[in-house]
Amino acid sequence: MGWGMREDEHRRRGGGYRPRWHGALLASAASLALAAPAFAQEAVVAEADASETAQEAQPKVTTLDEITVISRTGESAIETMASVSRVGQEELDRKMATTPLEMLQGVPGVAVQADSSRLSSSVNIRGLQDFGRVAVIVDGARQDFQRSGHGTQSTFWIDPMLVKQVDVIRGPVANTYGSGAIGGVVMFETKDARDFLKEWERYAISFTGQYETNGNGWTMSGTGAARINDNIDVLGNLVWRDYSEYDDGHGDEVPGTGFDVLSGMLKTSIRPNDYSELRLGWIGTDDGWEENSGASDLDLTQNTLTARYALDDPDNPWIDLHINGSWNQAKLDQEYLTDVRQFDSVTGEVITVPAGAKTSYDLDTYGIDLWNTSRFDTGALAHELTYGGDWLKDEVTTSSPLGGSDVYTPSGDRNVWGAYVQDKLTWHWFEVIGALRYDSYELDGTDVDSDGDRLSPRLTVGVSPFEGPVLGGLQVYGTYAEGYRSPTTTETLISGLHPSGVAFPFLPNADLRPETGKTWEFGVNYERDSLFVADDRLRLKAAYFNNDVDDFIDGQTLSAFDPTSGCPLRPDLLGSPTYAPICFQYQNFAEARLHGFELEAAYDAGWIFGGLTASIIDGWRKADGVKEDIVSIPASQLGGSLGFRLLEQRLSFGGEVEHNIAPDGAEYAKDYTLVNAFARYDVNENFRASLRAENLFDVRYANPLNATTTSVVYEPGLSVKVGATLRFGG
């Protein structure tokens, strides 16, 4: 959550989409899509037989049954003794998502704060967000870009068309995924050629078009994949989106909600043998929008390079090795289109930033992550011993010769590294997970340095001794886990004067202590097959959590008239009507507590399927012994879905309901209920049509995370999405 520096009042640039980015950035992806038919010389052309005998509809594997990348020990979500969720390909297709927010809609305990342009998203898990409290990872690469201002602080973008699944783990039990994730981890896994190609195909191409009525939004996507030989395959994808401003539930246009974005991806998989694989990938995004009622033009370019190696020899249980390397670059260029009056960051005098002045925000994030799992037995105990280490470096460079933004999003470097060991012991119906992680960090700024380290433990105990038609498949577990988050460059180094409106100083804080999250969680996993009819499936996960965050870092307003506050009085500004005798500083609070309940259930009988989700979150922080609301507490939610599959599962349709309860203290957000409907028809293997209607009753509502004292961004009213995909291969 922001302290109030820029107004997130974005306006779509006039004149439609204007190509701004470098031609070479995505040209290789386009070349792949166009060149894929060249591999057809060796292909066997197969034609779909429409008269093929229809098979009886069978229940589909629920997302809680699928092996999650996030477990690192080959477990499904329903088997994991932690709060883990997955959004799989079928659900992503059903959502017809435009933004990361829509991909995560309905996941228990997860909310997304997005600026008005919808291009910047900050993920909130259990009331924690921003500055690395939630680790967002795309194909193994951390997404740490941040720009200080109103609204979102940490921000990322990944186009839903590139994604095949999203895994979420809630709480600091995700300590094998690097330092800082005291809220949890969200992992986006993009599509591979093997997800796209049928077993007999050497190449395939698909084209997707989608139109959204509210905002006159167009999406065009092209994908091409080729199997060069049995050991090498490649995939490329291009996605273009063009959206105008949408209308809220009252029919009022919401300014600044239009955007243009172009995304692309290239991936290749190389398999030297049956038990090892090297995956290389590139993801690029270029988008632009106007901000502050057209006063400035912004262009954001992101490039992510990843290399991931896996070695899993089935004849050697001691080796299940993974080595990941990544580089993520985000570059935001801001150009003032009109003269803008601001306060000088040092003197406080009113200055004019002339049209044409430029500011740039650059972040380079380097990461290495390696781990191995050894499986062995000691007597009656089965062990899965996972051990590894990781290193992350953020290099922040802000250049603002005239605007002074370099003091609000300060330059600096942060190195974070850690090592861990985790052992999962299994004896029949009894399981124990013990883990220990060591974290260390160094932060270097112009005048301020900071460092620290810590050991963080985890202990989980689970039992499943139950049998019989009702209790069979029930597992009960309890967990205690700790996490450690180091201060970021902005929290530590921010300085200067608030740029406009009211002038007051920001104060750096070299004495910031890292946050420590201490979580208790008690949960149940339940799985049953053939409950009501043969081969149906019921899966359920529920958990209660209590997360105490010691030394919680948050913004604090200080009085210049309090001699103990450290806030200097500016006599030179006392005569100015725009000067406020206050200061803003990130400080440690003695404690913050967040607690709540989460539920996720899925049922599938083939011809009928449905789900139920719930999350209740509350919390507070203590300042001088007084409890205060935490502004990052999201709405509590209760959601349900019901769908049907007919015509040998080629036709699916259904509806969704979601009720949201505004958190305490949310003055500008109210309770609301949304109703959605969806349908999809697979005409054959190569053509499908999709339809989705969102907010059927045209409710006017605001996400509590986007409704503050400085601005309220209302969400879209009724919107209908229509899409079609054409595919061919050989």
The tens digit of pLDDT for each residue in 355-388 reads 777 888 889 999 999 999 999 999 999 999 999 9
- CB of 418 within 8 A of CB of 439? yes
Q: Report angle CA 239, 243, 248 to the nearest 5 degrees.
A: 135
Q: Which residues touch 98 (CB under 8 Å, ≥6 apart)?
A: 118, 160, 212, 217, 219, 241, 243
> 96 phi and psi, to 5 degrees?
50, 50
Query: If you average pLDDT over residues 486-498, what whole number do you get?
Result: 84
Environment class of 476 (CB within 10 Å of its CB; exposed 0-12, middle 13-18, buried 19+)? middle
Mean of per-residue pLDDT scores for the chain: 85
Number of Cβ atoms within 10 Å of the Cβ of 113: 26
DSSP per position, 275-320:
TEEEEEEEEEEEEEEEETTTTEEEEEEEEEEEEEEEEE-TT-TT-E
Query: If you average pLDDT over residues 469-481, what whole number do you get?
Result: 94
Express as a percent the part of the chain with pLDDT over 90.
Answer: 59
Query: If you average pLDDT over residues 163-169, what whole number do you get?
Result: 95
Could you give the CA distance from residue 500 to residue 508 in angstroms, rounded to a whole number?
A: 19
Query: If you average pLDDT over residues 469-484, what whole number do you get?
Result: 94
Could you give the CA distance from residue 297 to residue 356 in angstroms, rounded to a whole number?
A: 10
* Best CA proximity match to 202, nearest among 382, 393, 352, 40: 40
Is 175 strand, coil or helix? helix
Where do the domains of the chain lie? 24-48+57-729
Strand ranges inside 126-248, DSSP E: 134-138, 141-142, 163-170, 184-190, 203-212, 217-229, 232-243
CA distances from 284 to 140, 159, 237, 315 (A): 15, 10, 10, 39
Could you give the CA distance from residue 709 to residue 587 in angstroms, rounded to a whole number?
A: 21
Could you give the CA distance from residue 689 to residue 191 in angstroms, rounded to a whole number?
A: 20
Assigned token pair, 213? 């009525």
Alpha-carbon dihedral angle through residues 37, 39, 42, 46, given to the nearest 10 degrees: -40
pLDDT at 516 over 70: yes
Could you give the CA distance from residue 170 to residue 110 in angstroms, rounded to a whole number?
A: 8
**pLDDT greater at residue 69 or residue 33:** 69
| Four-residue CA torsion sign, 352, 583, 510, 5 | negative
Is 709 strand, coil or helix? coil
pLDDT at 397: 85
Q: Report angle CA 535, 62, 171 to the nearest 5 degrees.
A: 140
pLDDT in tens, 522-561: 999 999 999 899 989 999 999 999 999 999 998 888 998 8
- CB of 730 within 8 A of CB of 45? yes
pLDDT at 348: 59
Express as a percent the part of the chain with pLDDT over 70.
Answer: 85
* Best CA proximity match to 321, nearest among 275, 353, 256: 275
Number of Cβ atoms within 10 Å of the Cβ of 568: 12
Query: If you average pLDDT over residues 322-340, what whole number do you get?
Result: 87
Assigned token pair, 429? 């119906």
- CB of 173 within 8 A of CB of 72? no
pLDDT at 712 over 90: no
**pLDDT greater at residue 490 or residue 35:** 490
Assigned token pair, 598? 């989460």
Greatest pairwise CA separation for the chain in angstroms: 86
Query: If you average pLDDT over residues 158-177, what whole number do you get?
Result: 90
Assigned token pair, 602? 């899925």
pLDDT at 46: 37
Query: If you average pLDDT over residues 71-75, what whole number do you get?
Result: 72
Q: Which CATH number fits domain 24-48+57-729: 3.90.470.10, 2.40.128.90, 2.60.260.20, 2.40.170.20?
A: 2.40.170.20
Query: If you average pLDDT over residues 164-173, what whole number do you get?
Result: 93
pLDDT at 14: 35
Query: If you average pLDDT over residues 151-170, what whole number do you get?
Result: 87
Could you give the CA distance from residue 667 to residue 258 in angstroms, rounded to a whole number?
A: 27
